[in-house]
Structure 1
Amino acid sequence: MRASTSFTRPAFRDPRWHERLEFSCVTTREDLRASFVIDFLTNLDVADCWVAIDAGRSCPQTDFEFTDSQIHLPIDGSQLSNVRLSNGLTIEAAPALHHYTLEYLSVCGRVAARLEFRARTRAADQDFTFIGDAASSGDEGMAADDAAPGGRIDQPMHVTGELRIDDSFFTVDCHSNRSHEWGTTTSLPQPSASVDEMHFSDELTVYLDTREVRETWNSVEHAYVVRKGRIRAVKAAMAVYDTSDTGAGKVRYEITDDADDTYRISGSLTSTGQMISGPNELTAVRRIVADWNGRTALGFSTLVSDIREIQRRRRAHRHSPNSS
C-alpha cells in the first residue's frame, strides 16, 4: 500500500494528475450528512474543494442545507497528512491511516465543524476491494491510456464531533468511509457511477462502488463489508436500481464476502439534492432506507453522471414514438 502522507507527482508533470480525498459524517439529530471532498491537482499546485450538507430528514424539500464549491485553491504546503486550504478546511493525520482531525469554518461563517475520524479496521487498497478475476493496475474511471497507473484506498471509520449550522449545533457519532483516490482525469464520456454506503450499527457495514452497465443494472467494481469487527473482501456483488431521472426509487443488493456469507439488502432511494461537481459532471446525493434481515439502516448513495450522457438520453426520449 502506498504512503498516505505525501502526494505523488509523476515526473512528466501531467496536468491531469490528481489525488482526491473524501470524508463524510451523519449527525445524530435530523440525520444531516456532511461531505468534504478535496481534489488536489498536484502538478498545478491547486485544489478544488466541495463541502455539502444535505437538508436532512426534517426538510420536505429536495435540497442542500449548505454547499460551498471552490476551485483552484492554492495547495501551498498542504500534504495528504496535513491539509490547510484557504476556504477554511484543515485535516491533520495523527497518524495517517489511524486518526484524522477535520476542522472547517466556512468563509461566510454559517458552518463550522470539528470532527475526529478514527479507523475501525485497517485500510483496504484496490487489490483488496476490486471485484473480478484479477485486480486492475489502476482505477479505470480516472486513468487515461498514456498515464501513470492510478489507485485507491478505502477505510471504515468511526466519526465523532460536532457540526454547527448558523446557531444550531449537531452531535456527530457515526460510522463512515474515508476514501483516497489518485490517477488522471479523462475528457471521454464516462458511465454513471454510484457509491453506496450502509451501516447496520456495529453488525454490518456495506460499501460498494458501482458503474452503470445499463439503465437499471450496475456492475459492482469495488466493495467491502465489515462484519464482526473485521473488514472482509467481497467475492461477488450485484446492484439493481429502479429509479427515476432524479435518482429516487428502489434498489436491491446481493453481496457475498470472502467468508461465504451472503447479504441480501433492499432499500428505497430518495434524492436529497443535485449539484455540478466538475466538468460535464452532475452529482446527486440520495438517502437509502435499507433493510437487511429485518434490520433497518439509513444509508447514502452518491450518483455521479456524465451530463453529456444525460442529454443523449433525454434527446432520445424526446424523439421516441411514445414520448408525449
Structure 2
Amino acid sequence: MALGTHSGDTDLLLPLPAAGEHWDPHLIHTHYFGFSIPEAAIGAFLYIRYQPAFPLSQGGVCIFQGTDNVEHTDMAFLDYEVTMPWPRIEGNTITTDNGLTIDFLEPGRTARITYRSGDGATSVDVVAEAVTPLLARGHVMPGEEDHHDVAREPGGTEQFMHMTGELVLDGTTYPVDCYAPRDRSWRQIRVERRGAVPVPPVGWSPMYFGPDLIFNQISFEPLDTDPAWAGLYDVGDRPSHHYAWIQRGEETRSIKWVRRNVFEYHPRIHLPMRQEIAAEDETGELYRFEGEAIACAPLPAWPNTSFHDSVYRWTDEQGRTTHSTYQEIWFDEYQRKMKRRALATVHP
C-alpha cells in the first residue's frame, strides 16, 4: 500500500488568520529537527511551535547529555522560550526571537539549522539532507483527530535526514554526523486542556540502520505486555500503533501491527530505558528491534503533559546498531501512578 507524500513547499506552510477571522487558540504549526552524538551521549531537540491565533510562538534549543536529567534545567543546555513573537520569515528562512534559525535551502530536501547562545558558549550549525521521501503524517496522539477542524486541511510530514555539522556545547566542539528524523505539523488543533486525550503513554521510535532498513512507529504498550499503565485507561480493541512505516531501499511499506514491550523504566522520570519492538509489514515480513536509552531528559514543550526525549541505541536482528531519538508523552494520571510505584519500591 503506497503511503502518501507531500510536496516540499509544505515546509513553508505557515498560514495566519485573515483579518476578522478567528481561529481556535489551540491550532498550531510546528517544525522539529534533532540530532545525536552517541559517543558523548548527547541528544538535541530543536523546535518551533507556532500559535497563529495570537500570533505567538514558542521553542528553542534543548541539549541533554547522559541519563541523570530529572528537571528541565538539569540539561546540558536549555534555551526554550514559551512566549515569543511570531518568527521572522524572510524567503525560505525562519528565525525565532531567541535565535534558532531554519533555512530551507531546498524545501522538502535540505535545510540548515543554526543557533548561537547569548554568551557565545553554545552554538549549533548543522545541515539536514533528506534520505527518505517527505511522508504525509496526521496527528501525533491517538484521539487528537477528534479535535481537528478538517475544513482547514490539517496535515503533517515526517522525513529522515542525514545530519552533519557541529555542536559547540559550553565551549567544547562536537562533530555531528548522524541520521535523524524531522517532522512538522500545520493547522492541527492540539488541545492542551487537562485530560483532553485519555490515552496511555505514547512512544515514537524512528530508527535508521541504512537505506535498506528505516523504521518508524508511534504506539502505546499493548495490554498483553503488562504495561505500567494497565488499569488506568480503556483502549478497547484498537491497535496499539496508529502510525508506522518501513523503508526497504526505494520501497516504502505500511505496517500491519506493532508490539512494543518495555523491560525497564527510569527510576526518576519513568521513561522506558530498555524495550523491544516487534512489527510486521504489509508484505508479511517480520522485524524485531531491541533498544536502550543512553541519554534522556524531560522537555518543556507541552503543558499538562510529561514529555521526554532520549537517545536510544537500537539493535536489529542481524546485530546492526544505530542511534536515534525516542520520545514519549503521557498525562498526569499516569505520572502519579508511576510516582506511587517508585515510592513503594523505596519504602515498601
Q: Normalising to structure 1: TM-score of the pair?
A: 0.83
Q: Equivalent residue for 1:284?
A: 308
Deviation at 1:153, TM superposition (A): 0.8
1:66 paired residue among 74, 77, 96: 77
Q: Equivalent residue for 2:216?
A: 207
CA distance in 1, matches of 2:295, 2:132: 30
Q: Equivalent residue for 1:99?
A: 110
Q: Equivalent residue for 2:328?
A: 303
Deviation digits for residues 138-176 of structure 1 (CA, Å, limit 9, x no counterpart): 974544537345332101111111111122111111111
Q: Equivalent residue for 1:153?
A: 157
Percent identity between the aligned chains? 19
Q: Equivalent residue for 2:277?
A: 253
1:184 aligns with 2:177: no
Higher helix residue share: 2
Q: Equivalent residue for 1:6?
A: 13
Could you tell me whether the CA contact under 8 Å between 1:193 and 1:305 is conserved in 2? yes
CA distance in 2, matches of 1:87, 1:122: 31
Deviation digits for residues 234-276 of structure 1 (CA, Å, limit 9, x no counterpart): 2322212233352244311112223433211122345622233
Deviation digits for residues 58-111 of structure 1 (CA, Å, limit 9, x no counterpart): xx7445221221012111543894211121111011221011111111233221
Could you tell me whether the CA contact under 8 Å between 2:36 and 2:324 is conserved in 1? no
CA distance in 2, matches of 1:313, 1:27: 30
Could you tell me whether the CA contact under 8 Å between 2:25 and 2:53 is conserved in 1? yes
Could you tell me whether the CA contact under 8 Å between 1:285 and 1:303 is conserved in 2? yes
CA distance in 1, matches of 2:208, 2:316: 11
2:120 paired residue among 91, 109, 129: 109
1:169 aligns with 2:177: no
Distance change (3 Å), C-alpha of 1:117 and 1:270: closer
CA distance in 2, matches of 1:146, 1:26: 33
Amino acid at match of 2:240: S
1:75 paired residue among 77, 86, 89: 86
Could you tell me whether the CA contact under 8 Å between 1:121 and 1:156 is conserved in 2? yes
Q: Equivalent residue for 1:228?
A: 249
1:242 aligns with 2:285: no
CA distance in 2, matches of 1:206, 1:76: 33
CA distance in 2, matches of 1:290, 1:77: 38
Q: Provide structure 2 residue ranges, at least 5 long, that are not aligned to the other structure.
A: 1-5, 230-238
CA distance in 2, matches of 1:146, 1:194: 21
Distance change (3 Å), C-alpha of 1:230 and 1:119: farther
CA distance in 2, matches of 1:176, 1:49: 19
Q: Provide structure 1 residue ranges, at least 5 long, that are not aligned to the other structure.
A: 128-135
Amino acid at match of 1:5: L
Could you tell me whether the CA contact under 8 Å between 1:282 and 1:307 is conserved in 2? yes
Deviation digits for residues 44-63 of structure 1 (CA, Å, limit 9, x no counterpart): 1211104211215xxx7445
CA distance in 2, matches of 1:116, 1:146: 33
Could you tell me whether the CA contact under 8 Å between 2:313 and 2:322 is conserved in 1? yes
CA distance in 2, matches of 1:247, 1:24: 19
Q: Equivalent residue for 1:34?
A: 44
Stretch of structure 1 that moved more, 299-308 or 242-251: 242-251
CA distance in 1, matches of 2:273, 2:300: 22
Amino acid at match of 1:126: R
Q: Equivalent residue for 1:44?
A: 54
Distance change (3 Å), C-alpha of 1:114 and 1:230: farther
Distance change (3 Å), C-alpha of 1:141 and 1:165: farther
Could you tell me whether the CA contact under 8 Å between 1:90 and 1:104 is conserved in 2? yes
Deviation digits for residues 276-320 of structure 1 (CA, Å, limit 9, x no counterpart): 3321122223333322122222333111122343125546x5999
Distance change (3 Å), C-alpha of 1:81 and 1:216: farther
Q: Equivalent residue for 1:262?
A: 286
Distance change (3 Å), C-alpha of 1:121 and 1:146: closer
**CA-atom RMSD in angstroms:** 3.1
Distance change (3 Å), C-alpha of 1:61 and 1:96: same
Deviation at 1:116, TM superposition (A): 0.7
CA distance in 2, matches of 1:146, 1:197: 25
Amino acid at match of 1:155: Q
Deviation at 1:230, TM superposition (A): 4.1
Q: Equivalent residue for 2:236?
A: none
Q: Equivalent residue for 2:65?
A: 55
Higher strand residue share: 1
